[in-house]
Amino acid sequence: MKVLVALGGNALILPGQRGYIHEQRENILRALRLLSPLFKEGHKVILTHGNGPQVGQTLLRTELTRDKTYPLTLDFCNAQTQGEIGYLILNALHQVLREEKVNRQGVAVITRVVVDINDPAFKNPTKPVGSFMTEEEAKEKAEKEGWVVKEDAGRGWRRVVPSPDPKDILEKDAIKDLFEGGYIVVAVGGGGIPVAFDSEGNLIGVEAVIDKDLASSLMASFLDVDLFLILTQVPYVYLNFNKPDQIALKRVTLSEAKRYLEEGHFAEGSMKPKIKAVIRFLQRGGRRAAITSYENALKALSGEGGTQFLPD
């Protein structure tokens, strides 16, 4: 099978952790061990990942050292964190492949994703980055640093930045060659480095963070994968999440997914972009998608676990 696995934030930093390097290393090692049968059985695999907390930390370093070092814009923050997270994943992957005696190799590709400079998202920031804050801390940062802050799905307050729609992936052909060649590819980290074409056709970096699930969906479509698998903290997608009458969804058609989205069942900062990503993948001709936890990933691969999304 050809599989794109979108690693959720808990692959790197668990709730309550500071995100120290040793914590991230242990977390990604645990996640990849759970996925090791994918590598062992010879499936073609591409791994994508988020980077919200890491981008937030990079921005914080910039703010704290603004009088001593050059500032970093969001595109450079994404590029830096793509590199560091790719490095972490490749080292952990090397260990897992060695433990399982699998003769395969991983490769990380720094990935640029094209957005429209006139995307309306630049006037309405929605993408959470950085650490969670109390409402008081968030409003103080907003006043002092000029941030836009919002409450994030009942989990606390975070800084939000523009999240324009991904239009193209510049490294897609190189990624496809590696993927089809049997490499385990790490790419489209954090949704990709946001770039746009200026009036002369030159590429420029833009101040934004692209949603990693939407960018992963685009990559999955280009690679024509058999399964677009999004891993997160919960085993299923739920209606009425965290309410007494919550319902776990097992099998969902494209039409049902669109209806549930329109009815407002999914939170903006958590499940909503994942459902949007799945819908786009299926609309572009994708055969199957699934959302589940790491523990249920292999069951989801066989179609028996997690929430399975299918065309109409």
Structure tokens at 2: 């050809």
Amino acid 206 reads V
Of 8, 51, 106, 127, the catalytic one is 127
d(CA 149, CA 29): 33
Beta bridge partners, 283, equal: none
State the DSSP code for 230. Answer: E
Amino acid 118 reads N
56 is catalytic: no
Of 44, 141, 172, 212, the catalytic one is 212
191 is catalytic: no
d(CA 252, CA 250): 7
Tell me the Cα Rg of the chain: 19
Beta bridge partners, 227, equal: 3
272 is catalytic: no
E strand or H helix at 33: helix 21-34
**Do the beta carbons of residue 211 and residue 273 sit within 8 Å?**
yes
d(CA 131, CA 129): 7
Q: CA dihedral defined by 264, 267, 269, 275, rounded to 10 degrees? A: -70
Q: Which of helix, strand or coil describes residue 308?
A: strand
State the DSSP code for 70. Answer: -
Of 8, 9, 50, 56, the catalytic one is 9
Could you tell me which of 278, 260, 226 has the C-alpha nearest to residue 249?
Answer: 260
9 is catalytic: yes
299 is catalytic: no
Of 44, 272, 274, 276, the catalytic one is 274
Structure tokens at 149: 């802050």
DSSP characters for 243-302? Answer: STT-EEE-EEEHHHHHHHHHTT-S-TTTTHHHHHHHHHHHHTT---EEEEEGGGHHHHHT
Of 8, 10, 27, 106, the catalytic one is 10
E strand or H helix at 48: strand 44-49
Catalytic positions: 9-10, 127, 212, 274
